[in-house]
Amino acid sequence: MAEDTVTVIDNRTGKRVELPIRKATQGPDAVDIGKFYRETGYFTYDPGFLSTASCHSQLTYLDGQKGMLMYRGYPIDQLAEKSHFIEVAYLMLYGELPQQQELDDFRNIIMHHTMLNESLKSFFRGFYHDAHPMAIMVGVVGSLSAFYHDSTDINNPRHREIAAHRMIAKMPSIAAASYKHSVGEPQVYPDNSLSYTGNLLNMMFSVPCEPFVLNPVAEKALDLIFILHIDHEQNASTSTVRLAGSSGANPFACVASGIAALWGPAHGGANEAVLNMLDEIADVANVPKFLARAKDKHDPFRLMGFGHRVYKNYDPRARIIRSMCHEVLAQLGDANDPRFELALRLEEIALSDDYFIERKLYPNVDFYSGLIYSALGIPTNMFTVMFAIARTVGWVAQWMEMISEDNQRIGRPRQLYVGPTQRDYVPIKERPLTPPG
Ligand code: SDX
């Protein structure tokens, strides 16, 4: 029996199967079950992928028990404190922190891909004024492949790199245009002399009739929040991007599928849902009623911004954003924003409640981020759009990692079939009035 294997014994037949162990550089090793069906005749069954690794990756690692997250080996708290979004984006794409010239060149490339094709403007006008910006993002990003035929050959590394640069660069422009459409204001062209987040704020909030004054606190706060949202292993939206990419779909369509998956309230849509929940709770006196609902299995209500598939400790990103809240609200918003006070009290009460303690339900990245977005003047329906802008770096980095692998295969899960066994067609005149069973 080799030491780097796991032996599975089928108690029905006594058959023993040895499965190889794949070693991790950090965190759990994995049992390679690629031959499991061929050797045993069984599928493995793991809806939601609680114990299943869908791939190997060198990008991001998180330890759910310790509440730890690192990008390319660098702890998130160090990157949050010492780096900035464009530098971390470079790190995710290329694997190492850049030299100054590499960083300057990368920033220059990104900031010179920020403009949108003029004919895209008609896309925004086609949406009803109250269209949710995430609906617009899915549509417009998915359409980009119609404009950029020169970077959709996924087998060409240079095309992959250009497509990645374009998406990172254009997401803020598309997001800002989605916002401007929803408020009936004219689109604002990018200003390449500004920072990545300064440019976004300018495109969202400047108007032709008066000069725009960029607030450096807002610019820095958004840059920090974007670093925290860049990537997070094989979360639902990233797994969607990888699955779409495994079929050979173009990178713009893959990222559009990721945006669609991120929109769900159980995932990236939670930041918007948290603010709506805080508004619904309204007063700390109502917290017990809502906690009771969160525990009630017959009530679909969940405490939004709480819990996580992997973190069974405080989400390190939530910890960083929470400490940022005080500073940003004091400088930008309302230091006494009743919703921040309510969020702090809600967190305190929930974390002392047995239901949440037993299930290790802690605040996640979405619990506090919306409060800062609000302080920056960003409307609630744009919160998940902000998440999508930042996560585009992770999506394209994960997509590039997958596509560049030699033995990359289409993702095609199997299933446990529990439907009707084979039966013959019955002519309509002979069908029993009450179906069998
Ligand atoms: C993100 O995957 C990622 O990395 C995602 C993300 C990223 O960066 O990409 O981190 C971003 O999506 C953060 C999560 C944002 N979503 C929310 O805040 C929505 C509220 N949270 C829940 O919907 C839930 O916690 C999930 C979806 C986040 C996690 O779901 P799981 O892992 O499937 O958890 P579970 O349903 O198995 O929960 C285990 C138990 C259950 O109770 P029991 O059946 O054991 O009695 O905990 C309960 C759940 O009912 N539970 C909650 C709860 N979250 C879990 N109960 C009340 N409120 C909650 N928020």
Residue 302 C-alpha to ligand 1 middle, in angstroms?
A: 8
**Above 90 in pLDDT, residue 1?**
no
Is the CB of residue 304 below 6 angstroms from any atom belonging to ligand 1?
Answer: yes
Selection from 372, 369, 364 nearest residue 305 by Cα = 364
Q: Is 308 a catalytic residue?
A: yes
**Confidence category of residue 324, pLDDT binned at 50, 70, 90:** confident
- What is the overall mean pLDDT for the chain? 94
The predicted-structure confidence for 31-66, as pLDDT tens digits, reads as follows 999 999 999 999 999 999 999 999 999 999 999 999
Sheet containing 5-9: order of strands:
5-9, 16-22, 30-31
Q: Counting atoms of ligand 1 from 1, which one is nearest the CA of 229?
A: 8
Angstrom distance (rounded) from CA 367 to CA 270: 8
**How large is the average pLDDT for residues 85-113?**
98
The predicted-structure confidence for 110-124, as pLDDT tens digits, reads as follows 999 999 999 998 899
Angstrom distance (rounded) from CA 75 to CA 97: 13
**Confidence category of residue 295, pLDDT binned at 50, 70, 90:** very high
Q: Is 84 a catalytic residue?
A: no
Is the CB of residue 293 below 6 angstroms from any atom belonging to ligand 1?
Answer: no
Atom 35 in ligand 1: residue holding the nearest Cα: 309
Q: Counting atoms of ligand 1 from 1, which one is nearest the CA of 48?
A: 33
Question: Could you give the 3-state DSSP secondary structure of residue 394?
Answer: helix
Burial (CB < 10 A; 0-12, 13-18, 19+), residue 412, is exposed
Q: Where are the beta strands (DSSP E) in 4-78?
A: 5-9, 16-22, 30-31, 60-63, 68-71, 74-75
Whether 50 contacts 63, CB under 8 Å: no
Phi, psi of 207 (to 5 degrees): -130, 150
Whether 232 contacts 69, CB under 8 Å: yes
Burial (CB < 10 A; 0-12, 13-18, 19+), residue 255, is buried
- 384, two tokens: 């998940």
For residues 425, 428, 432 and 434, what is the CA-based torsion angle, rounded to 10 degrees? 100
The predicted-structure confidence for 169-180, as pLDDT tens digits, reads as follows 999 999 999 999
The predicted-structure confidence for 242-294, as pLDDT tens digits, reads as follows 999 999 999 999 999 999 999 999 999 999 999 999 999 999 999 999 999 99
The predicted-structure confidence for 246-256, as pLDDT tens digits, reads as follows 999 999 999 99
